[in-house]
Structure 1
Amino acid sequence: MNANTLPGQPHIAYQANTLCMEDVKLADVAAQYGTPVFAYSKAAMLSALAAYQRGFAGRKVQICYAMKANSNLAVLQVFAKAGCGFDIVSGGELARVLAAGGTPDKIIFSGVGKTRAEMQQALELGIGCFNVESEAELEVLNDVALKLGKKAPVSLRVNPNVDPKTHPYISTGLKGNKFGVAHESAVQTYLRAAALPGLAVVGIDCHIGSQITEATPYLDAMDRILDLVTDIEAAGVPIHHIDFGGGLGIDYNGDTPPAADTLWQQLLAKLDARGYGHRQLMIEPGRSLVGNAGVCLSEVVFMKPGEQKNFCIIDAAMNDLPRPAMYQAFHQIVPLTPRAGATTLVDVVGPVCESGDWIGRDRQLNVQAGDTLAVLSAGAYCMSMASNYNTRGRAAEVLIDGHQVHLIRHRETAADTFVGEHLVP
């Protein structure tokens, strides 16, 4: 790794005192496309995917990118061309996958609130599998499938009641979470699914949370799911694939998640020891493929000293980078061109009219108005969760591939933000 590479950011480094992504100066990106702007490294995405592919070498595995992390069409295109399937949670995401070149048979449809229209859309296209999350959903999906004269391929998402040791808003596998079928009732629910004529049981699914930084929760969840597979098949319902979800974390601030290939070596060893190593596997990584591939570039608008706090006001805001306001999340913030001299303790904040509009608290920075900052690890759950609050147009996005820069989303204008709205006569 280059000595000037930032921790957790192997494709972002200082070269001659200017921050670069791959072979591109990020200052040039900011100058050409304005700020705020998101830049993504194609090499970083494919490198993250390669770690999974190494871990699964010689196994029957379908990697399905969990596109809610970043759903830009060009990002989806990168993963489609690399052979990935997709994990979707809405009819809109289904349409995006198809627009980006994904194929329906490699799509898994997750989510607790699928509508009849979404079910019909997915069935007519021939998606690979529905991850069903409740008994009520089973009944509705069966009805929709029968009316279409089809059989819906289903996997039940089972809630294993395993603590992922992550933020409560992104924990999904505990009894108090809204996701999945209770572990204790899973066998009976599988028997009901197998009895419904519009459904074809094909697998079992488990997803315990996001930004998981240790292996133990995965190992515990695997044990619980494999116990269930044994019980379900003993009850007469064959399970053709086992889906272990996603959730592997990234390095935001000295976090030390296991590398994807290292994690899966441990998981596959357990799978082999229990006699399930030959099964078809599915996984659904999201953040770990794109999180550290992206940065948000933002200009310093004002420096505002105060009696209790000093503020660095930038032109990116909570509508562009919602994770700090929503999860109290940490993102490293660095200047594109570091200045010599003493730093000042500041809160980095945006221009939105909310006290919760902060990007980083208590940061040591030496910056002036007009400087450009890079908010790191911004490839996941930033633009995909962005809004037009305060009638702010969403940022531009670019994909960097070596020395090439591709504009993959234009900056929204004020007029773009009210397309579809109508004055009354």
Structure 2
Amino acid sequence: MACLDSGGDIAPRGRWSFICIDPVHVLVARAGRCMLDGREAGDDPLALLRGLVPSFSCPVQVPFAGGAIGFADYRFGQRAMGLATRHEADPWQPEFVAAIYDHVMVFDRHARQAWVAGYGTQADTARQREKVRRLWDMVTPDAPVPPMPRVPFMADRTPRAYRQAVARARKYIAAGDIFQVNITSRMWGDRPPGLSAMAAYRALRATSAAPFGAFLSCGPDFALLCASPERFISLDAAGTITTRPIKGTAPRDPDPVRDRQLAHALRQDDKECAENLMIVDLMRNDIGQVARIGSVRVPELFSVERFVHVHHLVSEVRATLQAGHDGIDLLRVTLPPGSVTGAPKHRAMQVIDELESSARGPYCGVVFRIGGDGAMDSSVIIRALTLTRDRIWAAAGGGITILSDPDREYDEMCLKIAALLAVFGGMPPTGEEQASEEKRG
């Protein structure tokens, strides 16, 4: 099952939601090996995906009427960049999943309209409509959200170790090795027996509605629950490329005057603006590999967007796709997202692997959809929970520049992850709690 779930107040990015069930094909990659509909199929999932996405005209009323929905995790991006890793992957977490759907339930939140759209035979449309109606009932905010069990979380490093990683990253920057790098941390808790992934997603959605929400279920052993504020890459049917990197974060305040002051301070913050500008340059370079020469431009720089829990500094890069290329080519040259790696990307990813304490998994990867008309949209997997057979994973981090303060960076990481842990009644563990747990272990 796949649900791409727009929420929050950001327009037009919070407009469309899609629910799909009963895929025609399922493509899964683990450790560089692909399985197509349960059979081994090669080692290049993007090449395989190109052969699976159907070609058809999309109805003018909706932006997506079937095609591919899936995700590529951070390790998939490492492979694409030819980089090794010292971190062991969770065996229950696939690196790449894509499913082909011939029917989709489409919701337009602005017009308050819904459609069942699809391609190929329409003989079973009524049956599909009934199924997706029941699925939407499960995620609509009007339905009661079941209480979640309380789950204590442990971090993959102590607060002190996180700050030390930030300090070491600054040394790499001071030496001229990199300009900026994203340092993150992961936390996990034991998955309570019988916990429904859909119920957990509904609880996340109720408190953290976002324009790029996603629920992707791959059987009982893996589900991705995402409340992402960040578009990665979009491509329309005419070949226009758009990306909106987020770099720069400030807390919200219930007092409107103080809230506006925080937003203004974020826009004027030298460190946050420098961080955002470097990622804009990185995305211009990545997109430029498949864009028409001279078409890359930056129509929006350093805008402040308001989300449920935080303000973010957002910019926009646009370009026109070269003839002979498609959305799959665009994904291949841009994964993993620059906003969660650093600049230069290749070296920043090497530093990330050295300084972080565990594998990122789906976190910092990409959720995508590709339609029959060639249009694509995608989002960065941040503000996300991953549910495996026996664990719940959450993660957060931030971009480090020469102006970064380790204490401030740790506080920003805690601000971002707190909303995820709060779904299960948790908070980021203190240094004392972590040290006590390490002694018991």
Same fold (TM over 0.5): no
- TM (norm. structure 1) is 0.26
Rg comparison, structure with higher value: 1
- Which gives a bigger RCO, structure 1 or 2 (Cα 8 Å, sep 6+)? 2
- TM (norm. structure 2) is 0.25
Answer 1 or 2: which has greater strand percent: 2
